[in-house]
Amino acid sequence: MLSAHGLTCVRGDRPLFAGVDLAVGAGEWLHVRGANCSGKTSLLRLLAGLSRPETGEVRWEGEPIAGIAQDYHRALLFLGHQAAVKEELTGAENLQLAAQLDGAGIGRAEVDEALGRFGLRGREDLPVRVLSAGQKRRVLLARLLLRPADLWVLDEPFNALDGSGVERLSTMISAHLDAGGLALLTSHQAMPLPPGKELAL
């Protein structure tokens, strides 16, 4: 269970949102909606423990995340709306580096399988700088197959994906929920996902 209680976020002297409450349990997902600059990304960063609220608290399994930071970060995978990949590295190298930073050991065969499932078979050893925006996004999303996590926090995960990419990612999210996982995401696109909760900012 992930919950938030009375979250307030201020950027500079501008309040983005105040008094946000939410709760997401096993097998549930939350769609965070709102206009540009309404604070969607800021809320996801608060929920992922990457920044602190002006007021309020985020809890995981009933415990404030500030007191269980290591356990919480092991339980979640956060993917931002920018394709956070290193342009000079290949797709395979990016995934291997991310796994090392997570403290996980993965083999090259696992990396190639993950990239292949996202339609990048044959492009595993190309520098990311030569890939399209959609292919860069697929490299990032391949982490979902390599990094076990109960909670997925995904900021605009469908950006730059074509129809087959949207279908593939939607299937993965649905399977994650069916297995008892949780997901929070933002998106401006229609998503073929089971009914979920909504939070409008």
Total number of domains constituting the chain? 1
**% of the chain at pLDDT higher than 70:** 99
Name residue 79's beta-bridge partners.
154
Question: Residue 31 carries which side chain, given as an amino acid letter?
Answer: H
Q: Which residues contact 190 (CB under 8 A, 6 or more apart)?
A: none
Beta bridge mates, 154: 79, 185
Give the CATH number for residue 52. 3.40.50.300
What dihedral do alpha carbons 5, 13, 45, 170 form, nearest 10°? 90
pLDDT of 84 strictly over 80:
no
Dihedral of the CA atoms 195, 36, 84, 54 (nearest 10)?
Answer: -90
Q: What is the pLDDT of residues 89-113, one digit of tens each?
A: 999 999 999 888 887 778 999 999 9
Residue 172's domain comprises: 2-200
- 97 is written with which tokens? 């580096």
- The dihedral through the CA atoms of 181, 148, 92, 108 has a sign that is negative
Radius of gyration of the chain (CA): 17
**Alpha-carbon distance 108 to 85, whole Å?**
18
Model's pTM, two decimal places?
A: 0.91
CA distance 175 to 186: 18
Letter string b/e over residues 82-103, b meaning 16 or more CB atoms within 10 A of that residue's CB: ebebeeebbbbbbbbebbeebe
Residues 6+ positions from 41 with CB-CB distance below 8 Å: 80, 81, 155, 186
**Residues β-bridged to residue 60:** 2, 63
| 41 CA to centre of own chain | 11
pLDDT tens-digit map of 5-54 = 999 999 888 889 999 999 999 999 999 998 888 899 999 999 999 999 99
Is 83's pLDDT higher than 70? no
